[in-house]
Amino acid sequence: MNRTDRLYALVEELRAVAPRPRSARWLADRFEVSTRTVERDLSALQQAGVPIWAEPGRTGGYCLDPSHTLAPLGFTVDEALAVTISLGMLATSPFRDAATSALRKVVAVMDDRSLSETADLATRIHLLDDGPAAEVPADLPQALRTGHVLQILYQDRSGTETVREVEPLGFVGKGRGWYLIAWCRLRNGIRAFRGDRIITAEPTGERSPRRDFRAEDLDIVYGELRTVGAGR
């Protein structure tokens, strides 16, 4: 993580738990840098006008002004439990890091009583997995948002590796497995690439041309595709 990304992540971490403090040592462990580096970063943020202050004492640390955080979310316990389960189900997906961050933010803005009840109920919910999931290349989750052509190293079912340039169109999830749906320039058509067979994925810097993506183009025999859409 470069310094610019770390500065942004520090603010988001403090925002997620505000008005509670985080110690410099905790932040250093979180971002895998030295305590001195964290203190320098926090000082730079303060000088830039970010409302961060230090609380003294054994349980003190650095805090972000609560007025610069999210307003409390009006979740019922059932709603909070549903969000917790949904985000937990993304733990093996290309979006697991974003899901973990989102869950921390939801937890941070819930009142203590609802949070305690939700946490208790969540201990009774279990997901049945087939085994550990393979790591997803770091640049894969941002593929849709950035719109960049990716160069991937892909291994097919026989173990043969090929380098391909692909134009990301979407993702399909099935159980613990996730597939990148993309226009493959090598095959000149839409293909589904299993996430656990994508060894590397690097953006080329080229913007993908606009292509229509229809579920029926995938010709999926088993299962039924369901669209995940944000509520309006």
pLDDT number for residue 142: 82
Residues 155, 116 share a domain: no
Show the domain range for 8.
3-68
Tokens found for residue 81: 């439990």
pLDDT number for residue 39: 92
CA distance 145 to 209: 14
The stretches of the chain forming alpha helices (DSSP H) are 3-17, 24-31, 35-47, 77-88, 96-108, 112-122, 143-146
pLDDT number for residue 96: 84
Residues 213, 148 share a domain: yes
- For 5, 72, 73, 137, 149, the CA distances from 93, given in Å and listed in that order, are 22, 28, 26, 11, 21
**166: part of which helix (H) or strand (E)?**
strand 161-174
Give domain status of residue 232, yes or no.
no
Give domain status of residue 129, yes or no.
no
Residue entry with tokens 């610019």: 4
CATH of residue 192: 2.30.30
Largest CA distance in the chain: 63
- pTM summary value: 0.62
Q: What is the chain's pLDDT, residue by residue, as a tens digit (232 residues)? A: 778 778 878 888 888 788 889 999 999 999 999 999 999 999 988 887 788 888 887 778 998 876 655 455 567 889 889 988 988 888 878 888 888 878 877 776 677 788 889 889 999 988 887 766 667 787 787 888 888 999 999 998 899 999 999 999 988 887 777 889 999 999 998 888 988 899 999 999 899 888 877 766 676 556 677 777 655 4
CATH of residue 49: 1.10.10.10
What one-character DSSP code corresponds to residue 22? Answer: B
Residues 105, 62 share a domain: no
Residues 50, 82 share a domain: no
